[in-house]
């Protein structure tokens, strides 16, 4: 992706970026790739530290550490996801008011401290508390990092930047599973290693992660609006043509640089326009109400699928009559498909528009999930179907995030993505719960896949109701 700071910008935007961020943002070339690399590493840590609990639960249960039972492990896992949802929903205000850089640093500090504390928990209760607070930092860092890379990526590459960054999550998840096998009974090393890695990353983030140019442009425009007013803007922005704020926003990777086919209107809210509504109210101002409701529903459905499949796919396949070892291999194939799907989805969305690709990806996921309800005797066909399912299911959810990053004004972008992720995390809790109930009832196969297919169809409907054009 092409860093936004390396593209021509208006004088005001360039001056602000020079004065308010590190020199890295202003220098094109190799140094400009630091933000993309660092955000990928941050998301990889999130994937590692979210998945590591599930990887060590069997050891906690077999050793009876702190008196862990299956019920206690379920409660800890649920509280961890609750923390993730709370963090995602609450970080938007921080990211939109103090900056993406400060929010990312704060999140890494929080989840690193409380991840290191987990092995020293004196009881199951404190174990759960530490995971709850660590979960808040983990949940908050993902939407903030995705907002950042979406703004920093430049015109026409928001979807690709978002999906490539999300490959870090699956890399971290695979790493957690592999290291859990190597660690064996020494599960404490996984939490210590994850937390220490976060601490080691902090000084690099401090030195090499500049502030988002789009945030700087929006902050400068708001300051001008509180003073003498922003030139070229009336009370609701200029409808006659691009204003200085719009030009600055386009240079900073705002909605003016959204992918083809995505709804954009300068009158609906300018990324750097001080007249644009800010905070949660900005998500429902102008024509954004239907957009907000649509992406919330789609995000909920997307994460219901992601967490439902990642948690229960081996159990469902075992119930279908496949060997347990084969079922575990299918989980690995599912996530390998996710990585490939993310790369392909980002490129196609930047070329043809994010919204059309979200519709296509959810639709394809629905068809593939329905097909998995039919037992396949040929292992090659079965694994290809699981691989394709992972490619479309996981990418559909991430494309929703990319869509949010490309459509909302910079003044509310962090809040928009944070709340979309927060609502989605509710789906992450509901998905494993519903699927687990089907497993307990002995009807997860084929009804689990029927449920997932219906959920994917609901994702299609939610995004289909999002208007093609957003008007103020």
Mapping DSSP to helix (H, G, I), strand (E, B) and coil, where does residue 142 land?
helix
Residue 268 clears pLDDT 90, i.e. is over it: no
Tokens matching residue 100: 């993406």
Tokens matching residue 355: 């919204």
CA distances for 412 relative to 116, 289, 464, angstroms: 33, 13, 23
- The position carrying tokens 């290809």 is 384
Torsion of CA 33, 49, 398, 415, to 10 degrees: -80
Expressed in percent and rounded to 5, the helix, strand and coil fractions of the chain are 80, 0, 20
Identify which of 51, 91, 52, 39 has the alpha carbon closest to the alpha carbon of residue 201.
Answer: 39
What average pLDDT does the chain have?
76
Q: What is the pTM of this model?
A: 0.67
Q: Looking at residue 157, what DSSP letter applies? A: -
Cβ contacts of 436 within 8 Å, gap of 6 or more: 311, 312
- Contact between residue 8 and residue 248 where contact means Cβ atoms under 8 Å apart: no
- The C-alpha atoms of residue 413 and residue 428 are separated, in whole angstroms, by 22
- The C-alpha atoms of residue 342 and residue 351 are separated, in whole angstroms, by 14
pLDDT for the residue 138: 92
- The C-alpha atoms of residue 275 and residue 329 are separated, in whole angstroms, by 53
pLDDT for the residue 471: 58
- Contact between residue 334 and residue 309 where contact means Cβ atoms under 8 Å apart: yes
Cβ contacts of 126 within 8 Å, gap of 6 or more: none
Radius of gyration of the chain (CA): 22
406-421 in b/e form (b: 16+ CB < 10 A) is bbbbbbbbbbbbbbbb
Please give the residue that has the higher pLDDT: either 335 or 203: 203
- The C-alpha atoms of residue 157 and residue 405 are separated, in whole angstroms, by 11
Helices 379-407 and 410-441: crossing angle, nearest 10°?
150
Residue 62 clears pLDDT 90, i.e. is over it: no
- pLDDT tens-place string over residues 92-120: 777 777 788 889 999 999 999 999 999 99
Q: What is the mean pLDDT of residues 49-69?
A: 80
- pLDDT tens-place string over residues 368-423: 999 999 988 888 999 999 999 999 998 898 899 888 877 887 777 777 877 888 88
- Contact between residue 412 and residue 273 where contact means Cβ atoms under 8 Å apart: no
- Contact between residue 470 and residue 346 where contact means Cβ atoms under 8 Å apart: no
- Contact between residue 114 and residue 138 where contact means Cβ atoms under 8 Å apart: no
Identify which of 53, 47, 2, 104 has the alpha carbon closest to the alpha carbon of residue 339.
Answer: 47
Residue 459 clears pLDDT 90, i.e. is over it: yes
189-205 in b/e form (b: 16+ CB < 10 A) is ebbbbbbebbeebeeeb
Lowest mean pLDDT across 129-133, 215-219, 292-296, 337-341: 215-219
- pLDDT tens-place string over residues 64-98: 888 888 778 778 888 888 898 888 878 777 777 77
Residue 196 clears pLDDT 90, i.e. is over it: yes
- The C-alpha atoms of residue 4 and residue 249 are separated, in whole angstroms, by 11
CA distances for 108 relative to 35, 270, 347, angstroms: 15, 30, 29
- pLDDT tens-place string over residues 315-351: 788 788 887 566 667 777 887 888 889 889 888 888 8
């Amino acid at each position: 992706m092409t860093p936004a700071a390396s593209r021509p910008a208006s004088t005001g935007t360039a001056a602000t970026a020079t004065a308010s961020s590190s020199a890295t943002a202003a220098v094109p070339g190799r140094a400009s790739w630091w933000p993309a690399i660092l955000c990928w590493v941050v998301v990889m840590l999130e994937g590692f530290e979210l998945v590591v609990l599930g990887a060590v639960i069997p050891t906690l249960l077999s050793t009876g550490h702190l008196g862990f039972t299956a019920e206690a492990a379920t409660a800890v896992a649920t509280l961890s996801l609750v923390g993730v949802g709370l963090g995602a929903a609450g970080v938007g205000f921080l990211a939109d008011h103090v900056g993406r850089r400060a929010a990312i640093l704060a999140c890494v500090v929080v989840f690193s401290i409380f991840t290191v504390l987990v092995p020293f928990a004196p009881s199951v209760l404190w174990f759960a508390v530490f995971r709850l607070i660590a979960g808040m930092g983990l949940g908050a860092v993902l939407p903030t990092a995705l907002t950042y890379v979406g703004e920093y990526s430049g015109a026409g590459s928001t979807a690709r930047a978002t999906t490539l960054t999300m490959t870090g999550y699956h890399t971290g998840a695979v790493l957690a599973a592999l290291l859990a096998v190597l660690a064996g009974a020494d599960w404490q090393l996984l939490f210590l290693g994850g937390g220490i890695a976060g601490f080691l990353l902090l000084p690099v983030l401090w030195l090499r992660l500049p502030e988002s140019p789009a945030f700087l442009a929006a902050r400068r425009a708001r300051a001008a609006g509180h003073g003498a007013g922003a030139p070229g803007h009336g009370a609701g922005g200029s409808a006659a043509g691009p204003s200085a704020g719009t030009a600055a926003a386009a240079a900073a990777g705002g909605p003016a640089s959204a992918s083809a086919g995505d709804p954009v209107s300068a009158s609906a809210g300018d990324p750097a326009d001080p007249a644009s509504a800010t905070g949660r109210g900005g998500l429902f101002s102008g024509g954004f109400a239907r957009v907000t409701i649509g992406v919330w529903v789609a995000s909920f459905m997307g994460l219901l699928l992601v967490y439902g499949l990642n948690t229960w796919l081996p159990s469902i396949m075992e119930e279908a009559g496949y060997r347990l070892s084969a079922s575990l291999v299918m989980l690995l194939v599912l996530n390998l498909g996710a990585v490939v799907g993310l790369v392909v989805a980002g490129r196609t969305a930047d070329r043809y528009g994010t919204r059309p690709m979200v519709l296509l990806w959810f639709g394809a996921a629905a068809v593939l999930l329905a097909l998995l309800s039919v037992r396949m005797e040929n292992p090659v066909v079965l694994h290809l179907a699981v691989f394709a399912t992972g490619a479309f299911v996981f990418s559909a959810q991430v494309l929703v995030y990319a869509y949010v990053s490309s459509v909302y004004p910079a003044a509310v972008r962090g809040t928009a993505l944070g709340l979309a992720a927060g609502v989605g995390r509710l789906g992450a809790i509901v998905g494993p719960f519903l699927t687990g109930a089907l497993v307990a009832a002995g009807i997860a196969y084929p009804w689990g896949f029927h449920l997932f297919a219906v959920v994917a169809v609901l994702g299609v409907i939610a995004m289909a109701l999002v208007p093609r054009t957003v008007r103020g």
